[in-house]
Amino acid sequence: MNDFSKEAASSLLVELGKTKGFAAGMLFRLSVDISVTKRYSMTIWPDKTSEENSWKLFGEEILKKLRETGARVEISRGPIKEMQIAKDLDLSNFYTN
């Protein structure tokens, strides 16, 4: 993917998270730019069932379409074993609509 493709895919995934992800139970979504053409995204779900249902509902189809554009997409799944957050962290600085 080039930088334009990355931004287009990112915009699609942001909207998908807002419109379908949170409605399906998603608790948290984070994206980090690794390079000009690479982005790492992570979602957190309340349980495995919610994640699996959303995957069947819209995730599989989006992944298929992304791969058809030539994008390389890797999927990893697993339970959260540990999560540490500073007690004075103000997450509103990172929240986008």
- Residues 56-70: tens digit of each pLDDT: 988 899 889 888 888
- DSSP β-bridge partners for residue 39: 33
Structure tokens at 27: 């608790």
Residue 47's pLDDT band (cuts 50, 70, 90) = very high
Structure tokens at 90: 């103000």
Question: In the prediction, which pLDDT does 1 show?
Answer: 61
pTM equals: 0.77
The residue ranges of DSSP E strands in 1-97, in sequence order, are: 28-33, 39-44
Whole-angstrom distance, CA of residue 89 vs CA of residue 85: 7
Question: In the prediction, which pLDDT does 2 show?
Answer: 72
Q: Determine the 3-state secondary structure of 37 from DSSP.
A: coil
Structure tokens at 60: 């599989």
